[in-house]
Chains A and B, each alone.
Chain A
Amino acid sequence: MTIRLRVNGVDRTVDADPEMPLLWALRDILGLTGTKYGCGQALCGACSVHLDGQVVRACVTPVRRAAGGAVTTIEGLSPDGNHPLQRAWMELGVPQCGFCQAGQLMTAAALLKAKPRPTDDEIDQSLAANLCRCGTYPRIRAAVRKAAGLPEK
């Protein structure tokens, strides 16, 4: 089945089974490998992308759901890696192995878009389900606060 969707601002067409996870379409068909496959069961958040502005876990999102929609992946978060979160991430050296970080950034970006100055509780609630096996949580939280113009603590 031919599915049309907008990915990072560009109209794309994928020829795929409508039940194929969006993650497969992004990584294997469109070659956008920034989004990671962690668990495949919506348990870790490594595959988080935006679909029409909402965070979805691409590993469990059938590609049919994205038909006619707009998907943003880590590759499209900013044209030049200059999103305030990306800058804060670099300044604080957030990643360890990096595997979870695309998902962390996409979730944090959705949070800051909805709540430009989130409270600590809001940051915790929105990011609680994005796992980091390297335990970079304190740096992630600090970088979100920095990007939001809040004290890093």
Chain B
Amino acid sequence: MLCAMRRVFVAVAIVAAVAVVMRAAMLEAKPTQVAQPTQPVTGARLRGPEAFAGIADPAERSRALFLEASRVLTHPRCINCHPAGDVPHQGMTLELHYPPVVRGPKDRGVVGVECAGCHQDRNLELARVPGAPSWHLAPIEMAWVGKSPRAICEQMQDPKRNGGKTLAQIVEHNAHDKLVAWGWEPGAGREPVPGTQEQFGRLVAAWVETGAKCPPEEARP
């Protein structure tokens, strides 16, 4: 009798366990069936301006566009050379540049250790030294390390802190500059910034067209 009861108990337990596993599998399967727009934007994904067309208010759309563009702007590939101090960063965790170098008077290093003494006009795959034309640091007034998307947004449109550029020149710079372009082709197994430069350029252009509004201080992409 006891034995029969145990058998029934075990059978019930197995059925219950199978049900739990199946339910878990169904739950897990669900997110992959969800439509594209609600998927989290991670890693290499960057949404183009068309993804924001549904935001009717241009100012709101502008803020959303900048926040999306800030996925690129705040990526280590970009901010490593926009340091808030005199030493560039490197890697995904913003460690200080090795070998030890400093920004120097023109953001291109000091005599004896200039950026171009090691960084060539293109990446060196074997030595793993990254390179692009005119390799240099962003001036200190363009520091991005530790800055919020809003702070970067305000800096980017302030001629005193953006190299005296008009918004049209900012769009052009982001869309076509060769040093900016390096972020998407960093070489040597480095993680590139999300999306493509073309997509990023369109995001920045759309942000300018919608009034170049800045997201609130606490907003993060």
Q: Is the CB of A55 within 8 A of B111?
A: yes
Contact with A along B104-131 (1 / 0, CB 8 A): 1000001111101110110010011100
A55-B113, A107-B112, A127-B112 are known contacts. Are A41 and B120 too (CB-CB below 8 A)?
no
Name A122's contact: one of B99, B110, B116, B120 (CB within 8 Å): B110
Interface size on B, residues (CB 8 A): 20
Contact with A along B157-197 (1 / 0, CB 8 A): 00000000000000000000000000000000000000000
Residue of B nearest to A39 (CB): B127
Name A55's contact: one of B98, B114, B124, B127 (CB within 8 Å): B114
Residue among A44, A108, A126 with max Cβ neighbours from chain B (10 Å) = A126
Residue B37 is within 8 A (CB to CB) of chain A in the complex = no
Q: Is the CB of A43 within 8 A of B99?
A: yes
Q: Which residues of the other chain, A, contact B117 by a CB distance below 8 angstroms? A: 48, 54-57
Q: Which residues of the other chain, B, contact A40 by a CB distance below 8 angstroms? A: 127
User: Cα distance A110–B118 when bound, in Å?
Assistant: 15
Residue B208 is within 8 A (CB to CB) of chain A in the complex = no
Residue of A nearest to B122 (CB): A62
Residue of B nearest to A127 (CB): B112
Name B111's contact: one of A45, A61, A115, A130 (CB within 8 Å): A115
Residue B101 is within 8 A (CB to CB) of chain A in the complex = yes
Name B118's contact: one of A57, A126, A128, A131 (CB within 8 Å): A57
Residue of B nearest to A112 (CB): B111
Q: Which residues of the other chain, B, contact A114 by a CB distance below 8 angstroms? A: 111
Contact with B along A51-63 (1 / 0, CB 8 A): 0001111011110
User: Cα distance A68–B120 when bound, in Å?
Assistant: 17
Q: Which residues of the other chain, A, contact B124 by a CB distance below 8 angstroms? A: 60
A54-B117, A56-B117, A57-B118 are known contacts. Are A42 and B99 too (CB-CB below 8 A)?
yes
Q: Which residues of the other chain, A, contact B99 by a CB distance below 8 angstroms? A: 42-45, 128-129, 131
Residue A65 is within 8 A (CB to CB) of chain B in the complex = yes
Q: Is the CB of A110 within 8 A of B129?
A: no
B27–chain A nearest beta-carbon distance, Å: 49
* Chain B positions near chain A (C-beta within 8 angstroms): 98-102, 104, 110-114, 116-118, 120-121, 124, 127-129
Among all A-B residue pairs, the 4 with the closest Cβ atoms: A126-B112, A129-B99, A42-B118, A114-B111
